[in-house]
Amino acid sequence: MALISAKEIETNVHELEVSVDAETWNNAIDQAYEKQKKNLQLPGFRKGKAPKAMIFKQYGKEAFYNDAIDIVYPDAVDAAVAEAGLELVDAPFDGAVNEINDEGMKFTVKVTVMPEVKVGKYKGLAVSCCPSDVSDEEVDEQIKQMLDRSARYVEVDREVKNGDMTTIDFCGSVDGVEFDGGKAEEYELEIGSGSFIPGFEDQIIGHKAGDEFDVNVTFPEEYVENLAGKDAVFACKLHAVKEKQLPELDDEFAKDVSEFDTLDELKADTRKHLEEHKKEHSDQEVEEGLAKELAAIVEGEIPEVMYEHEVDESIQNFAYQIQQAGMDPDMYLQYTGMTTDDLRAQFRERAETQVKCRLALNKISELEKVEVTDDDIKARYDEMAKMYEVELDVIEKAFPKEQMAKDLKGSKALDIVKAAAKITTEDHHAEEKAPAKKAPAKKAPAKKKPAAKKADKE
């Protein structure tokens, strides 16, 4: 097999003319014969037992050409691409046989290749990230959450207050007619949790265990169609009132919830983990910012198929995440009212950034003469095997050495860009920290999904 010619017929598209020698071609015909012979029959012979020479004479070698082409084509194209020194970004297309006989075959095929790009000034790029320092208030908030998780509810004989846990029966009706999903018995409801429709929880405050009373509410306009905007009455019975009691915030608490002996040690460890999390988040913000900046300084005509493949991969990853969450991807689209085209459009901008960023890093690694050693590759394999908790050979098979070397070059190029970048800190979430009005109650759940819950479309 040999490459006859390789010429660029349009930007990033080359046409290869390839020849397959007689020996290789006839071996492929023999393989095609072996594949088909069990289905061939000549008079006087059982099916599959006729001599090959007689089969060829009867049917002609031409009968095996299509299968022989399928056999020889992949290796012939790979050899031609390697000989031409091309890097493909998509499967070969528009293959056509030009000549075929006992002496071999010749064919042409088109391939889309990795584009040649230029990059602008990549040192001194300006990006911002959230600060990674941790305040005492943030540590205290984490400790408070630990306290809340360790809280216990103790039954009390008094009127319901905000924050209490109640046990109630309820039965909802509209115009005196009960509706599906509006009924439950001995349902545990935390007052102030905002888990029931607006106005429901507030009307339980002030009642005591044993009280029977009505709760009057109006369903939101954006609710399920048969209940939206309607007035409803829930007949309720309060069985129990439980008060939330927090443990003492002391060394004993630290021992109960952690491996530490003192509260100070627990706080120090909490601060450490918060700092690590914030540092990781800040690094991610920097890299995402640099990706956008790098994408913006790439010059060159990029094959559309590269963007499409990136979108395909994003959708596959998204579908996997949806399935891990227990939802069918098609059901998700129905639930959100989206089409596949809508989903593709949603991932398109990010796909363009990712593709352009990778091309920029490839070019930068070339300009900076980045080298990757066998030790670098081995270290990365070891790291991934530990991360995914699999044997080393599994990682090596899943990630070919050549691809790993290329990825590592890109990582090293990014390190060069990052080291030279102008990074400033800016609290992107300052608005989230500002005091906000309390969110209104949202839904009225029951042991079975009630119609009184917020509609799924919300």
Closest C-alpha to 131, from 418, 427, 419: 427
User: d(Cα 309, Cα 304) in Å, to the nearest integer?
Assistant: 9
**pLDDT digit string (tens) for 321-341?**
999 988 899 888 888 889 999
Q: Which CATH number fits domain 2-114: 3.30.420.40, 2.120.10.30, 3.30.70.1050, 3.40.1500.10?
A: 3.30.70.1050
- Strand, coil or helix: 100: strand
Specify the pLDDT at position 429: 55
Q: Which CATH number fits domain 152-245+433-458: 3.40.50.300, 3.40.50.2300, 3.40.50.720, 3.10.50.40?
A: 3.10.50.40
User: Which residue is listed with tokens 């169609």?
Assistant: 225
Is residue 144 within 8 A of residue 127, CB to CB? The reply is no
Specify the pLDDT at position 129: 94
Specify the pLDDT at position 48: 67
Specify the pLDDT at position 449: 39
- CATH assignment, 275-432: 1.10.3120.10
The reported pTM is 0.73
**pLDDT digit string (tens) for 179-231?**
988 999 999 999 999 889 899 999 999 999 999 999 999 998 888 778 889 99
User: d(Cα 352, Cα 354) in Å, to the nearest integer?
Assistant: 5
**pLDDT digit string (tens) for 269-292?**
999 999 999 999 999 999 999 999
Is residue 337 left, alpha or beta, with left meaning phi > 0 and alpha meaning psi from -120 to 50? left
C-alpha of 408 from chain center:
22
User: Which residue is listed with tokens 């010619």?
Assistant: 5
Is residue 213 within 8 A of residue 165, CB to CB? The reply is no
What residue ranges do the domains of the chain occupy?
Answer: 2-114, 152-245+433-458, 275-432
The identity of residue 361, as a single letter, is: L
The identity of residue 278, as a single letter, is: K
**E strands along 275-363, which residues?**
298-299
